[in-house]
Amino acid sequence: MMNKNSFISIALFCIIFYLPPLQAQKEIYLDVNQSIDKRIESALEKMTLEEKVAMCHAQSKFSSKGVPRLGIPEIWLSDGPHGIREEVLWDEWSTAKWTSDSCTAFPALTCLAATFNTQMSLLYGKSIGEEARYRNKAVLLGPGVNIYRTPLNGRNFEYMGEDPYLASRMVVPYIQGVQQNGVAACVKHFALNNQEVYRMGVSVEVSDRALREIYLPAFKAAVEEGNAWSIMGAYNKFRGEHCCHNDLLLNKILKGEWAFDGVVVSDWGGVHNSDQAVNNGLDLEMGTSTNGMTSKSTSTYDQYYLANPYLKGLKSGKYSEQILNDKVRRILKLIFRTTMSANRPFGKFVSPEHSAAALQIAEQGIVLLKNNKHLLPIEVGKYKKIAVIGENATRSMTVGGGSSKLKVVSEVSPLQAFIAKYGADHIIYSQGYSSGPSKYGKEIPSTLNADSLIAVAVEVAKNADLILYVGGLNKNHLQDCENGDRKSMDLPFGQDKLLTALLTANKNIAVILISGNAVAMPWVNEVPAIVQAWYLGSEAGNAIANVFVGDVNPSGKLPFSFPKKLEDNAAQFFGKDSYPGDGIIENYKEDILVGYRWFDTKKIAPLFAFGHGLSYTTFEYGKITTDKTIYAGNETVKLRFSIKNTGKVKGAEAAQVYISDVKSSVLRPMKELKAFSKVMIEVGESKQVEINLPVKDWAFFNDKTKLWVIEPGKFTIMIGSSSDDIRQSLSVNVVGS
C-alpha cells in the first residue's frame, strides 16, 4: 500500500518532471502564439507527399482536405458574394436540405458600388463575413470585380461597375470587413471574365495598357491594399492560356509584381491541364463535377489535374516538390489565418444588425434616374388609388442567378412594402407580364397569355391615380444570371409593349427597374420618374418603399453608363470580333475606352451617364481650389471645394473628381475618375470637402516601355455630380515625371 507521503512525492515528481515535457511537446503549428511562418514550416515538415497533394484539390463541391492525422482542418468555401449560400450535397449541386442555413441576403454588388460610399463597403464586408464565420466557412467566394464591359454580361450584377477606380476603392473595405472575421475573401474572377458567353474557352486579346488601366486595378487594390487571402482564377483564356493556370497573370503579375501571399483557387471546373496547373501559379483546384471537369463522371476527386496526375508527376520527378511546397505553404497560411487563428471571432447569423446593414446599403445604392415635376417622393395619403404593376413587384430575386443564388430567411417584396406604407386599401396589384420559372441554364417561357396580362393591367391603370411599375430583368437564364448573356439590351417579357399600353391609360407613372444591367428605354421621355433599384436582397421592398415615401432621400449614383442603344456601347461598336468573339478568340478593340471613357471621348451621349443619380434636394458646388498650381509627379494635390444643400430636405451627395490630361502623346480618355466623397448635408448647410489627389495616379500605362508615365503639362481637375454634370474645374501643371 502506498502511504500518503509517497503518493504526494510521486505526484510532485510527475508534475515537475512529467508534465513540463508534455507541454514542451506542443507542436509549433498548433501554437497560436507562434508566428504563422513558423507554424507553416512546422506543419509542412510533418506532411507526406500524399498529404500535401491532397490539400491542393477539392474533396467535395465546396471543401478541400486538411491533414486529419495532424489535426489540421479542412477548408470550407462558400458562395458569395451577396450572402452565404445554402449547403449542397457532398458531390451534387442539389440542396442538402439543412434547416439552419437560411441567410441574410445583402444587396448585389452593383448596388454596393452605387452607394459610392466606402463605409458601406466595410459594413457589407463585416456583416457578410460574420455570416460566413457563423456558418464555419474559411473562404467566402467573393467579392467580384470584373469590369462592366457590356450590358449583356449575365453576371454584371455580381461586380462593381465599369470604372477601375470606383471598383478599387469599394473592394478594399469589403475584403477588410470579411477578413476581420477570420474568413478569407476570394476575389473573383481573375481576370478578364467580362461575359458569360463562351466563358469556358474564349481567349481574350487585350493590350497591356487596357489590362493595366482598366481590368487589373481592382484586383491589384484587393491584393495590395485589401490584403486578400485568396483569389479565384477566371474560366476564360487570356492570350491563349486559361486564366486558372495563366503564367503571366498568376506567376508574374499576381505572385510576382503584387507579392500576393494567399491561395489561388480555380473557378469550379476551370482547370484543364496538369502541367500548367502545377507550374503556372494555381494552388487549389476546385470543380464542378467529381472529375474536376464540367461533365458528369463517376471518377473521384483523385482524377483532378492537381490530384493523382500531380502525385504521379512528383514521384517520377516531372514536377518539383519545391513548387508543391509553395502551394501547401499558401494553403496552410490560409488555414492559420482563418480556422486555426487564435483571433477568430465567432460570427453572427441573420442578426437584426445584418438586416439593418442590408437595408442601409440598399437605401444608399438606389439611384433616382429621373424625377420630372417632383413626382417622387409620394407621401402617404397623397393618392387614393395606387396601381402596382409588374412581375418584379412580387418576384423573389434571391432565387436564380447561378452560383450567387441564396436561400434567405426573408425577402421583403416591393408590393409587400408598398402595402405596408400606403395601406392595403390604397394599393391594387396587377402582374402585367410574366417571365416563367427560373432554371439554371434553361429558359422556360411563361405559359400565361401576355396580351391578357396587358389588358388586365391597362384596366387597373385606367382606374388608378398613380402607377408604380416594378419591372426590369430577373435572375432567369439569359437575364441577370451566370452561364449566359442577355440576348439584347431591351426589357424582356414584353415589357416595352406593356409600358406603352400603360402610358396610353395613365401617364402618372414611376418606373422601378430591378436589374444589374442597363436596359434600353424607348419610353424614357414619356415616363416622369425612373428609379434604378438593383437586386437589393432581404430588405429590397423596404428600401424601395422608404425612398418612395421620402423617408430616405436617394443618393446612389450609377456605377456604369446606360447607353441609348446597344451599338453605342464600346464593346458592341466594333462588332462580333470584339463581343462576343467567335468562341475561340475575342479582341477588346475599344482598348481603354470602356464605359464613360468611350462615351465622353467619342462624344456619344449616353441615356444616363456614369455617376448620375438625382436627389430630392439640390446641391450647389462652391469654387474649387488647390494648394498650388504646379506639382511634381510625386506630389499630392490638396483639393478643396464646398457643397451646399440648396433644397428643402437633407441629403447626401457623392461628389466626383475627374482628371483630364490636356495634351498627351497617347490617346487618353476625356475624363477619368480619381476620387469621390459622399457627404450628408443638412438643409441650407454648406460642407467643405477636402480631397488628396496623388499626381502619380494620373499616369497612363505605356504599352511600349511597360511603365506608368506622367507626361509633364496641363491637367484639368473637374468636380461634378456625375460624369456628364461637371460643376467646377481648374487646371494645374505637372512638371517632371
- Report how far Cα 99 is from the mean position of its chain's Cα atoms: 28
**63/723 with CB nearer ligand BGC:** 63
The secondary element (H helix, E strand) that includes residue 335 is: helix 321-337
CA distance 440 to 405: 10
CB of 141 to ligand BGC, least distance (A): 4
Q: Is 80 in the site for ligand BGC (CB under 6 A)?
A: yes
The secondary element (H helix, E strand) that includes residue 694 is: strand 686-694
Q: Assess contact for 278 and 271: CB atoms under 8 A.
A: no
**266/338 with CB nearer ligand BGC:** 266
Among 195, 246, 371, 403, binds ligand BGC (CB under 6 A): 403
CB of 103 to ligand BGC, least distance (A): 15
CB of 19 to ligand BGC, least distance (A): 47
Q: Is 196 in the site for ligand BGC (CB under 6 A)?
A: no
* Residue list 334-393, contact with ligand BGC (CB under 6 A): none
SS3 689: strand
Q: What angle do CA 334, 248, 308 make, to 5 degrees?
A: 55
Return the residue matching grid coordinates 517520377: 316
CB of 561 to ligand BGC, least distance (A): 25
Q: What angle do CA 478, 481, 486 make, to 5 degrees?
A: 30
Residue whose Cβ sits closest to ligand BGC: 403
Beta strands at 585-587 and 230-233: parallel, antiparallel or unpaired: unpaired
**268/698 with CB nearer ligand BGC:** 268
Encoded one letter per residue, x for contact with ligand BGC by CB under 6 A and - for no contact, window 132-151 reads ---------x----------
**79/130 with CB nearer ligand BGC:** 79
CA distance 250 to 233: 8
Which of these, 183, 182, 180, lies nearest to 123 by C-alpha position?
180
H helix runs in 522-680, sequence order = 540-549, 570-573, 596-601
Q: What is the dihedral of CA 282, 283, 289, 294, to 10 degrees?
A: -10
SS3 661: strand
* Residue list 239-278, contact with ligand BGC (CB under 6 A): 267-268
Neighbours of 1 (CB within 10 A): 3
Among 51, 79, 539, 653, binds ligand BGC (CB under 6 A): 79
**163/482 with CB nearer ligand BGC:** 482
Among 133, 188, 242, 245, binds ligand BGC (CB under 6 A): 188
CB of 266 to ligand BGC, least distance (A): 10
Q: How many residues are given for the chain?
A: 737
CB of 268 to ligand BGC, least distance (A): 4
**141/211 with CB nearer ligand BGC:** 141
**126/188 with CB nearer ligand BGC:** 188
SS3 555: coil
Return the residue matching grid coordinates 458567353: 197
Applying CB under 6 A, the site for ligand BGC has a residue count of 7
**403/546 with CB nearer ligand BGC:** 403
**79/586 with CB nearer ligand BGC:** 79
Bond into 143 cis (ω within 30): yes
Which of these, 717, 716, 699, lies nearest to 708 by C-alpha position?
699
Complete DSSP assignment for 43-110: HHTT--HHHHHHTTBEEETTEE--BGGGTBPPEEEEE-SSSPPPPB-SSSSSB---SS--BPPPPPHH
CA distance 431 to 500: 15
CB of 179 to ligand BGC, least distance (A): 18
Output the CA–CA distances (angstroms, integers) from residue 615 to 161, 166, 219, 356, 547, in the order listed: 21, 20, 32, 22, 10
Q: Is 546 in the site for ligand BGC (CB under 6 A)?
A: no
List the catalytic residues.
267
**476/532 with CB nearer ligand BGC:** 476
Q: Assess contact for 715 and 729: CB atoms under 8 A.
A: no
Binding site for ligand BGC (CB under 6 A): 79-80, 141, 188, 267-268, 403
